[in-house]
Structure 1
Amino acid sequence: QIQLSTGSSRPIAIIAADFNNDTQLDIATANHGTHSVSIFYGYGHGKFSHPMTYSTGYDSLPSSLVAGDFNNDNYVDLAVANYGTHNIGILFGNSNRTFEKQITFSTGLGSHPYFVAVGHFNDDGFIDIAIANSGTYEIGVLLHNGNGTFANQATYSPESAFPYAIDVVDFNQDNRLDIIVTNNGLENIGVLRGYGNGHFENPIMYSTGSHSSISLAVGDLNKDYRLDIVVVNNDTGSIDILLGYFEGFENQTRYSAGSNPQSIAVSDFNNDTQLDIVVANYGTDDVSVLLGYRNGSFAKQTKYSVGSHPISVAIDDFNNDTRLDIVVANSGSNDVSVLLGYRNGSFAKEARYSVGFSPESVAVGDFNNDVQLDIVVANSGSNDVSVLLGYRNGSFAKETKYAVGFLPHSVAVGDFNNDVQLDIVVVNYITDDVSVLLGYGNGSFAKETRYSVGSNPKSVAVDDFNNDARLDIVVVNYGSNDVSVLLGYGNGSFAKETKYAVGFSPYSVAIGDFNNDTRLDIVITNSFSNNVSVLLGYENGSFAKEVRYSVGSSPESVAVGDFNNDTRVDIVVANILSNDVSVLLQYNRGGIRYEATYASGGGSNLQHVVIGDLNNDTNLDIVVANYGTNNVDVLFGYGNGSLENQMMLSTGSNSHPTSIAIDDFNGDSVLDIAVVDYATKEVGLILGNGNRTFASQTTNGISSDSRPLAVASGDFNNDNRSET
């Protein structure tokens, strides 16, 4: 151990940063007893300079500090929360290992700022400051003016709480920083979602069951790509786990379409990077195109005439001009309409091509490997599919038909046997099965193979639900009010169906990752119950129980896409009886649900929490300092948000640990634990073995007039080993 004396200053907070750009880590402390900050410059071999001390003002009682370059001169500066004088002090770093005299920015009379954090809140290239003002029960935000000064504080009230610890993260994954605060005095924590312009929503409060939440840590505990929160509760001797989760969709917004809209698809028709909508209107023999705006709303429809009773629509570039075109199946005139796009969101007059009797569904793919898109149509009246091979100019050859089951209603394409040739799957409404036709790669197909599904299958879609690089099938069963999932073997055959209940008279299906966990989910339109069912997917290809969202009258078709550019998948539905489309934008609030409380035992007096993978199983674990019971708790994570019962590691009789840091201190690629033992004036080291066991604590004494409160770790001597 190397001792760095701060005299009788009573340091209460510590950080490590390179303040003089010499690639060596330095140390800064906030000294509660002497109203100052001290800087220890690192020499690179584990030794440090004598402290350079800077006043934070008479009776300032600095309680927290953070490093950042506040004037963009490439030298690290300091921001200090001055609890006693109700302000934030900024000390600008110079190139000669010194700091300017502190300048202060008021946080308001009686505010008592206790904790400070920094981040870019408005994307102006300058660092802003967030403050927990414990005296006025507020969160303060100081926005940078761009000249080394800050605007007057803006405040946000987390109810009548005592803001204690604060952190800045992008909690709802919208590329805008949010603020998380623990509230001492109320049984909750607060999340303030950032708008990206320097302003924040009012806090959303989440219960913790404790009146004394004093420390927090943030990480993905259940591997769902959403941040979770761990909170230390000092009064109850426990920690709370609050998991981030998928909140669902806002109430629908509806837009007029034609009469009896039957089918819907989305893409960008006018190359403005915003998704647009096309709807097939069965009753008015036309399609409606609604161009999208950046905020997720849509312009008034533009209509284009097609054949009789259009019932299905698909989108792609049929003439290789990099402009999207539309194909429509016309059930009344037994043909398909192709409308070539002009790039500005408008379309040429239709061209028609004959198919079988009463076409119900259309899909697109290159079936003969000529780099020209082809069309496949399911003909419900003639119990077959029509394949029309495409020419370079956007026209199509005469159909070739292939027999399938009785009353085919929907068709989709994909490579089911991994031979790089597209295959076809069709749902057969009367025979309660699907037909799979494997492609030869020359535009022709093998005879069908059938697989049983539910009653009256109505719609089909394909994707890889279990991440095994083999395409799977999902089928909507209109008669049995469920969906069938058939996992693919990769050789063109499929496992027996697994069924999942949905709403009444389900009609259509679409696939997307709605909760950003990299696992595919499904959405179903329920035509009789006037809603959609969302089923979130698991990694093994199974699905959670449905969650329903109201839409218009008799929804029959669904498509998905990000309509408002918030990186979250939204839903659009065609409602046949209300003659409109419903748009459901996904919530972007970063919701949290209370998951579990883990007790550390009576009298534990929890002080500090950190997160890391201590046993190298890729799951995050939790370490807590227990001041009252003289130990640290390790709770190993299962990777699903739950934890094992704690393992208690003694820090010695009457040691009263107050702070912990985790790092690999002995170079064995396993995380170890460093502990500040306040009462015995020691820093303890507990080495991890990587197998859920730990060596006994070894200690290093600190000067007799010290009461250590906090610890940090880093490589202070550039030997590729961490020190504390």
Structure 2
Amino acid sequence: MISNLINAKCIFLFLLFCNSLISQAPPFIRSISPLISSSEKTVTITGINFPASSSNVNVSFGGVKGKIISSTNTQIISTVPSGALYRPISITTNGLTGYYPFPFHLTYPNGGYITSSSFRKKIELPTKELPKDIVVGDLNDDGLHEIVVSNSKSNTITVFVNSGKLLFTEKFDLPTGISPQGIVIADIDADGRNDILVANQGSNTISIFKNILMYGQLAAESFSPKYDLAVDERPNSIEVYDLERDGRNDIIVSNENGNTISVLRGITATQNAPLNFSKKISLTTQLRPRSVSIGDIDRDGRADIFCVNEFSNSISIFRNISKRDSLTTRSFAQRVDLLVGSKPKSIALADINNDRRLDLIIAHSDEDYFSIIRNKSKPDTITVNTFEKQTDYPTSGAQDDIVAADFDGDGRCDIGIVTGSNFLSLHKNSGEFSSNNLKSYINFTTGSGPIALTVGDLDGDAHPEILTINKGSNTISVFQNRIGPPVITSMSPAIVTTGGTVLINGWHLSAVKKVFFGNIPAVNVTAINDSLVAAIIGKGESGIVKLETPGGSAIMDGIQYIPKPTIYNIEPEVGVPGTEIKITGLNFNPDKNKNLIRFGTMQAEIISASSEEMRVIVPFGGTYEPISITVDGVTVKSVKPFAITYSGMGISKSYFEANINKPTLKIPVKIQLGDFDMNGRLDLLTLNDGSDSLSLYYNSKNAESIIYGTFEDPIHIATTIKGEDFVVCDINGDEQLDVAMSHYTTNSISIFRSKPRPKIIAFNFQPLVDRIELKTGLYPRAVAVGDIDGDGKMDIAVTNYGSYNISIFRNIGSGSGLSKNTFSEKIDIPAGNKPWGIAIADIDGDKKNDLVVANSGANTLSLYRNIGNIGTFTTSSFDLPIELPTGMTPTNLAIADFNNDLLNDIVVVNSNERSISVFPNQNKIGSITTDAFSESFKVNVSLSPTSLAINDIDGDGLCDIGVISASGNIALLQNFIKKNKFSDDSFISKAQISSNESLSNIAIADIDNDGRNDIILACDSTNNFKVYYNNIPPYIPLDTAGIAKPLGVNTFYFKNHFSVLSAYHLSKSLRILGGLSFKPRVGVAGGFKYLIKALSLNNLTPYLGLVGGINYKYVSLVGGITSKKEEESKINGFISFPIGIEFQNEKGVSIMIGTPLQLHPDLNYGFMLNIGYYF
């Protein structure tokens, strides 16, 4: 009986002892699920030695407590706090702490990107002088991180109390040892409150500030007086962790002058007992350890120690092989050293590629790269072979500190660095170990001299902020994380067509990569900033606009898509002014008033319109260019130029005489033409080099004039800056002609918006309204306008003579406005030596506009093939240029399809030799090669040419060339190409005209609306412009209606004078002549022709005729012999031999000599050709 009692008592005592042992065992975490999660989600922690009640346990996510939902001896379920840090989760109970060896990773939804707008403009908080380190941690259990800074000069730390919403109005100081450096926040005594520890470099100590706050406002009194512990010489970095897993936190300190790491084992007896640590142990490092870090590299459940050695260019690794309740130098395996590059300054541990291994991330104090060493360890071993060869990544400069954290919430640790360039550089992690991952970075400007940084959520939104401490400006820079899902607030325009740009406003737009119009993706998306995205529509659909980012999507309804107009065919392809032509295609506006058709710069009358066909009247003043159609601000052009023709006698000097000589302002250097007042006549603009102005001459018809246009007095328009070159074009799609001008002296271009005011001032050059200035390269020369990216908007290209490149400004405007935002930032493309002339045209027939540039210093042409996509433009939108040799000093150039083979040819002025170079184009579609221009040739002209112009001068449907020289010579080169084949005599000078004054520019266009293209010249030496009217007879269709069918037409040719007389058959012997006589100030002419039947010789009959004029006094007496056939037949041809005399009151007497002409016998009319000669 007694024996049984004794045995029972022994058993009871033994069980009581075992229970005591269990109660003293620290919590041990076996697993956490999930280990990556967002805030407010729950995690399940499994292990042993957990308390059965949740009232006696704290779960810390890197220093911020989670809310415990349930607790048993083997499982705890807790929510994730918004302020969780990338550190191991710990459980604290009964004064003991257990850690999970791998960090918990906080994510958040709608992230996944880092842009320049991901972090709001920094908040600056002042510190004391020479701050050294910064950390965050929750010191009052409100779930928000406080900020703690060490102040090396004042020997204090400053605590900034977080009041929420990034407000830190309250702060207080705590005195430290001498020259405080590194700081850490941790619950050192396992009482559930976070304490502060700091390394004092000047006093070779660490100070512990035990948190004793029970309730109330956090203040200096919330901490007990500092508790100092001695370490080795000049400590600089500090960490806290339970190394030997006895439940008590230890302290690890690096000492830069001692070349050691000090380890102080925590041996505090109970939860509320005084702090107690064993005598430090020292681990020898290499030279000048600067930063210490803790992490389980070999996955054995024990945290290992790492430090960087600045003077040895290495990392020292101390593998933890400790046993519970023991921590000595033997608790660490033999040190492993890794060479890592020049002057490592800081180290961080993080799992870069999510393989559950901690990798090493190193900052370098004198290099512009940081390094990552991948961990490929096996359990229970660390050697030099545990790690792969380091990979270096460029950053913004030499670094002072580095951190790893998931800034964008995508589940991958990104890298943050502070550099000596006053930058916070963020490197986004794509999750792979490759040379491209982490290569790019985004800089945020800090205060002066950033020296350290830390990461933590300060405003309770679970998005981590980034903080830097700046020793130069004695400040803290706080960067608020504003990554999130996109929001659309507005978009414009609401109506858009293919190639159009839609501007989408909102926020969180920096990471937008995809935009959909309906269900069709945009062809190009540009995130301009965090609140603006430009999306270019392809085919598109009406309805919703949807944009997507890694952080989510946003939708707005209200877009109306109008397909881009397309021209398929023009019939006929040539014609005289007044001809009705049919244009077929797609996506025309059925309302004819909502389409605009131009022949060059002249607007055409639209008779009828449907979505697929328009009927148009060919206007006077049209030039040899593709027809353009503008619908809803979008412009497209026909593939083939329209040729305005008339039947002519070819080019001759005698057909041209200067009829207008108008004064200009000083030194006119350039002429452009366009119908600015929309009266159907070409107005004239001169660029005046000597007065920094444009002069606009409206072209009108006065009461005295039947044919010739007259120019009103000019309107002078100040350009503000000296102009070099300019072009006239509707740039913003508002159906008005605008002006783009280059400025050689200010390295810029100006765009002037035209205001539609018929016959009144068409420009109002208010600098802030109608003129915008854009910066170019050095010394811009020539400017060209055309649709480069195929979006239907006019882009601008300019050659930069001094910087040997081309600046291109893409038109991204919407609506009819014009501002700097109408154009994207310029893109520069390299050119040859001293680029001058430039043209935008489709060279290879692929319906994309290419660039042609004359390099005056290299004696070459550069041809840039457009390989870009619709609505986009980058430096890679053009293929590498091909080079074509020219003559000496090529300057001005022009593009035209000279041989009507649907390929644009090139002609360029060689200003230092007496020639122009012609480049016949034989390229295949989609290809531009030098071989395709191998049949180039030169055409000799008089003296050195300075400028050229192209148009059909003689009305034969082929484009001719006009060339001028500075000395006043004009050469008109007639196009003699036959059967589409070029030859050396394809262009022949048929008129050499001397103006007897210096010439600066030439234009060829129909000024007087007679259907013939005139010659317009700028005379810079005499400050005027001249018009040489084209007096080649036009084609005039005959009206067969009348009292009788016409038998013939008499045409009398004289210098600057011709008559068209239609002969009507009244009887076999009497013909009545009627018609028009064309001459300055000449009106209607009339008369008769009488056949003398009595006289006949071999079927020939003599005749007499008399012609009189109105408004001009002259009389013509005509006689001759006609064939019998005329007398006998109304439809057969006839031969006439006229001879006669004309009396004129101004120029004396002229004799007419007949030229026989046989007409086709099936025609019911004929004409007699009479050539006059003046004495």
TM-score bucket (shorter structure):
0.3 to 0.5
Which structure carries more helix by proportion?
2
What is the TM-score normalised by the length of structure 2?
0.26
Higher relative contact order (CA 8 A, sep 6+): 1
TM-score of the superposition, structure 1-length normalised? 0.41
Q: Which entry has the higher C-alpha Rg, 1 or 2?
A: 2
